[in-house]
Amino acid sequence: MGHNVAVFGAYGHTGRFVVTELRERGFDALPVGRDPRRLDAFGLAYRVASVDDPASLDAALAGVDAVINCAGPFASTATPVIEAALRAGIPYVDVAAEIEANVDTFTHFTERARAAGVAVVPAMAFFGGLGDLLATTAMGDWTSADEAHVAYGLSSWHPTAGTVAAGTVSRERRAGRRVRYTGGRLEYHSGGDLPRVDWDFPAPLGRRGVLGEFTMADVVTIPRHLAIPEVCTYMSADAATDLVAGNAPVPVDGLGRSAQTFTVDVVVRRGDTHRRVVATGQDIYAVSAPLAVEAVRRILDGRTRTTGVASAGEMFDAPDFLRALSAHLRVETVSSWSAPASPVR
């Protein structure tokens, strides 16, 4: 393939998966980060750069074809790396799950990236990207819907240090408030405990307790291009408990993946008609790598639907994109039905 792709934050947990995925798919991966000792461990050519030093970022991106940003918190890294990508005139993809950081990317770079003819795809990962691709697929020929529900059935969730740090930054930016997408806009509010409800996942998972208003990056990516005024996300209650405990993921196979499995159940409703698409797989961090790398591959191949800043479902042919990930994800259009009820109880 011959394309040279820089990976900023390459020695982080997700960054290592991304470097491996790039190499397995024929790209020349160029690790980039602040610590030369950790970069040297890849046994590849690398470049040292810091978000505090624009000149170092320019040098790191010189001569590369695209950059994938895996370094959180993205509230600190997204803007300087996007700025450097625009100066270099190369595509930018990141794996940000931070709601506010993704909003910043759309707010500050939409016009500039479009004018420069540069593709910028934030949240091209498990949270934000995958849910958007599934919701776009579920919409099919609909041009609008009344609501979208994204339920995450995780068997467990042992967070990386980056996830913990990003969560801390997001809570600080929100001043401890909760966030939801309702009435066609993001709404910040104070509240008590998250509501616990039951969600009817498709078999074999079945009915599980989930936390409502466990708001993830899908509330930024989905309504950016789909006319859906209500976007709700849910997290399996057991996984949320694991997240609070803060134990790091433990690899269980030669790929470095954890034993964690996931089901992402997306239901869109228009009137009494519901459409559902479900994805299952292993390890939310590991699967972010093929999501990000497939995005870069399609951008460099010219298989995009727009330019500038766009979410996954807007930038790419969503059903075709998901089919390309069949080695990593099982995606099934489970059903379409007419009834006033939704899967949440």
Please check whether residue 343 lies inside any domain of the structure.
no
Q: Domain check: are 196 and 334 in the same one?
A: yes
Please check whether residue 110 lies inside any domain of the structure.
yes
133 is written with which tokens?
A: 């691709």
- What digits encode the pLDDT tens for the residues 155-170? 999 999 999 999 999 9
Q: Domain check: are 308 and 330 in the same one?
A: no
Please check whether residue 246 lies inside any domain of the structure.
yes
- The confidence score (pLDDT) of residue 191 equals 76
98 is written with which tokens?
A: 């931070």
144 is written with which tokens?
A: 């609008």
CATH number of the domain to which 197 belongs: 3.30.360.10
Please check whether residue 344 lies inside any domain of the structure.
no
Please classify residue 332 by burial: count the beta carbons closer than 10 Å to its beta carbon, then call 0-12 exposed, 13-18 middle and 19+ buried.
exposed
Average pLDDT over residues 217-234: 98
Pairing of strands 119-121, 308-309: parallel
In which domain, by residue range, is 107 found?
4-124+289-315
68 and 292 in contact (C-beta within 8 Å)?
yes
Please check whether residue 345 lies inside any domain of the structure.
no
Q: Domain check: are 156 and 234 in the same one?
A: yes
- For 179: left if phi > 0, alpha if psi spans -120 to 50, otherwise beta; the answer is beta
Q: Domain check: are 279 and 131 in the same one?
A: yes
Question: Is residue 268 over pLDDT 90?
Answer: yes
Could you tell me how far CA 276 lies from the centroid of its own chain? 20
6 and 67 in contact (C-beta within 8 Å)?
yes
Cβ-based neighbour number of residue 173 at 10 Å: 17
Q: What's the residue count for the chain?
A: 345
Q: Domain check: are 212 and 276 in the same one?
A: yes
Q: Is the dihedral of CA 234, 237, 243, 244 positive or negative?
A: positive
Question: Is residue 1 over pLDDT 70?
Answer: no
Question: Is residue 3 over pLDDT 70?
Answer: yes
Average pLDDT over residues 28-36: 98
Instruction: Report helix angle 13-24 to 161-173, nearest 10.
Output: 120
Question: Is residue 182 over pLDDT 60?
Answer: yes
- What digits encode the pLDDT tens for the residues 186-217? 999 997 889 999 999 998 899 999 999 999 99
Q: Domain check: are 140 and 202 in the same one?
A: yes
- The confidence score (pLDDT) of residue 341 equals 63
Q: Domain check: are 72 and 145 in the same one?
A: no
Q: Domain check: are 176 and 147 in the same one?
A: yes
Average pLDDT over residues 6-24: 98
Question: Is residue 220 over pLDDT 60?
Answer: yes
Q: Domain check: are 275 and 134 in the same one?
A: yes
- 181 Cβ contact partners less than 8 Å away, ≥ 6 residues apart: 187, 215, 219, 223, 230, 231, 232
Q: Domain check: are 202 and 330 in the same one?
A: yes
Q: Which helix (H) or strand (E) holds 240?
A: helix 237-245
CATH number of the domain to which 17 belongs: 3.40.50.720
Could you tell me how far CA 119 lies from the centroid of its own chain? 16
Q: Domain check: are 77 and 216 in the same one?
A: no
112 is written with which tokens?
A: 């500039």
Q: Domain check: are 297 and 235 in the same one?
A: no
Q: What is d(CA 318, CA 130) in angstroms, rounded to the nearest whole number?
A: 10
Please check whether residue 204 lies inside any domain of the structure.
yes
What's the domain count of the chain? 2
123 is written with which tokens?
A: 């949240």
Q: Given pLDDT bands bounded at 50, 70 and 90, which one contains residue 176?
A: confident
- What digits encode the pLDDT tens for the residues 55-93? 999 999 999 999 999 999 999 999 999 999 999 999 999
Q: What is d(CA 3, CA 260) in angstroms, rounded to the nearest whole number?
A: 32
- What digits encode the pLDDT tens for the residues 86-131? 999 999 999 999 999 999 999 999 999 999 999 999 999 999 999 9
Please check whether residue 323 lies inside any domain of the structure.
yes
Please check whether residue 119 lies inside any domain of the structure.
yes
76 is written with which tokens?
A: 């600190």
